[in-house]
Chains A and B, each alone.
Chain A
Amino acid sequence: MNPDVRRPRRGRGPSGPVGFVIDSVVMGWRWLVRMRTALILLAMLGLLTLIATVVPQEPNVPGTVEVWRSGDEGPGVLVSRGIDAIGGYDVYGSALFLALLLLLYLSLTACLIPRIRAWVRLVRHSRPPLTRAADRQQVVASFSTDLGPDEVHATARGLLTDTRWRVRDPDPAPDLEPAPGLEPAPGLEPAPDLEPAPGLDPAPDLEPAPDLEPAPDPDRSRAMSSGPPPQVAAEKGLWSREGGSLLFHLSFYVLLAAIVFGQLLGFDGQRAVVEGESFADTPVSYWTYGPGRWWTDDDHRGWVLHLDSFEVDWVRDPLAPGAGQPTTFVSDVTVTTADGEVRETTVEGNRPLTVDGLKIHQLDWGYAPFVEVWVDGELEHANFLTAQAADGGMFRAAVKVPSADPDVGLEVFFFPYAPDSDDGPVFTGVPWADDPLLLFRQYRGDLQIGRTQQTINELDTTELESVGGGLIRPGGEVVMDDGVVVRFVELRRWVGFQVSARPQIPWLLLASAMLLGGLHPALYAYRRRLWVVASRPEGDARTLVTVAGRAFQRPQAFEDEHRRVVDRLAAATGAATPAPSDDEVVPR
């Protein structure tokens, strides 16, 4: 199981640098085959995963990573540099992780190859061994019957075969008087030429007497005894446990292949759609576009999705349980497929829509105020904003007007429910739009579009100067000092859709099925052997039947099984059912 990592035996093969390389490869391989190595690698994978759990990951929360890096939050700049040095902000994209994955798979392969070979040999060649001392096995029960020994053996053989035991073929006419010193007796031939493999024993053809003193020298015992008594030997669970374990480990290859396959052939795109508007499935219409390497423009079929309306509601009663929690999120959409078929349907959080092989998920939503910006009497901006939920029940957006001179930028804060009071508007923080209010701050200067990183809802204010701000209700407008007019024309909502193609899903399901299907027998199947020895001593009227067995795993489960076999055999041979007393069934 854990062979020492020895230096390969020298003397054969090339020496010098070539020999050194060969030696190193052989030693590396031996290291990889060890179970201890797998354990160490698993521990390292665990360590990396722990880092990925406690450290924010760039692909998930880039914003948090940014503030950790800048030292504004988190453990400080110095620690942050250390994290960066080991790739801790993107563990699963780091070189360290890839190297570890490679080693794990190498180790997996190194340890599976011999296991599979041994398993195949075992399944093909194994033969249940005979026992010489049935009464000294792990579990033993006996009873007597009127049937003759041969009849008992035949009954046992049929019974065991019916319950899917692998029964040893009857030996050829037993050579009762083995010529001493010549060929070994049948059943005593040397164990087939199998090398022991991890988890498998070489299945010697004779179960040695389980005595407690050191086993006598096999040659001597062979000479002394006249061979094992006539018996039925059977075996079960021989290959399922190890086979399950192999299936389980093999599923990791399917998993890896599915993931790589998905990276190459998959596609992922996102797009926000305002109520009453549509979008077509073309590469340019996505806001974020993540095609796999082998994904081509031709894979877009050009279907069109029209968002008729979006319904959202909450538990509005502040005293009800779960107050403020959302209760509905539904997009009513009309889809025109590539073939021109028109369908009215809905997309919900948990009910994605499939159109022409692509899956459409409803990911998020927000308010879409229609805002006009007039600069020097010209309409420079007239569009829906896609304001995104931010802290405090507020929704944030930005307006960028690079065509004005100098550029005009607005930071927009949208409050769905901000009723007026004597002291001005009250910001309730409630998300339903019963009394919407748009608050903005205006800037002029250089928006730096395309030069700095900014999302559509963010303004880079470093090169901008604040001009002032204002509050607008729907339908209202504000005239700024510099003559810029801002109008809040109407309010709708927008929905963020994700469109994806995941051809790997069936393969992932296959991997899961292998994983679980293999794990179960790997943990629960157990190997066991059973012997039925019937004999009728000279001059005796009754046949003594001994049913002996041993389990390599799960002795408790085996005891029950043994008892059942004994009961059935006793019933089939017309013996009185042996009382399953502790005297007869001797667990040792």
Chain B
Amino acid sequence: MIEAIDIHKSFDDKEILKGISAGFEKGKTNLIIGQSGSGKTVLLKSLVGLHDITSGDIRYDGHSFLELDNTAKKRLRQDIGMLFQGSALFDSLTVEENIRFPLDMFTNWSLEKKRERANFCIDRVKLENANNKFPSEISGGMQKRVAIARAISLNPKYLFCDEPNSGLDPRTAIIIDELIQEITKEFDMTTIVNTHDMNSVMGIGEKIIFIYQGHKLWEGTKDDIFHVQNKELEDFIFASKLFKKIRDNNI
């Protein structure tokens, strides 16, 4: 479980996060949703320690992240996998080397064992014939799969995904969403997904937090999101013509 407790984050004089508190549950896909510029990515990056928060606390299974010393932080980070918006694969390494990278850095396993683990992760994300290709030689969807495989190679407890299906076609986006949800269940991870895609919300949103201009405005599940009386959330959900049509026709 990951808890955000009254998180404030400012860049110079501009306050981006204005006192966000939320709990992200183990074994579930927790979604942070909101418009572009609402502070989703800043919140996600603050939770993993890429941004130092101005005030508040972040707790991983009850332990304050801010109170950890460097060694403990480093150890915790080996339990974190992250899928970046642009995949963030290392250009100079092949697909297999990218997935093996965390194993090369943090294990003393033999090359054979590391390759075995990398191939397990490759199979798990259903990648075929891509081991020796470079990131620039594969499609966006495949890059996301490689990034997921890399994120799970060390068997992490926590998985963070920053807009995992941005830039993907709707079919591939659904496949990636499903993969994230399957992996979350299979490895019993605490997964936090940042998205503004309503298809993802309806597909994998077991717990949803809506952020608006740095505030948390709503928290719930995909089952009750359509029944909320909140103008900002309604504007966000029904910005899509399809969802608007569904609402207007009472489907």
Check if A and B associate: no
Which residues of B are interface residues toward A (Cβ below 8 A)?
A: none
Which residues of A are interface residues toward B (Cβ below 8 A)?
A: none
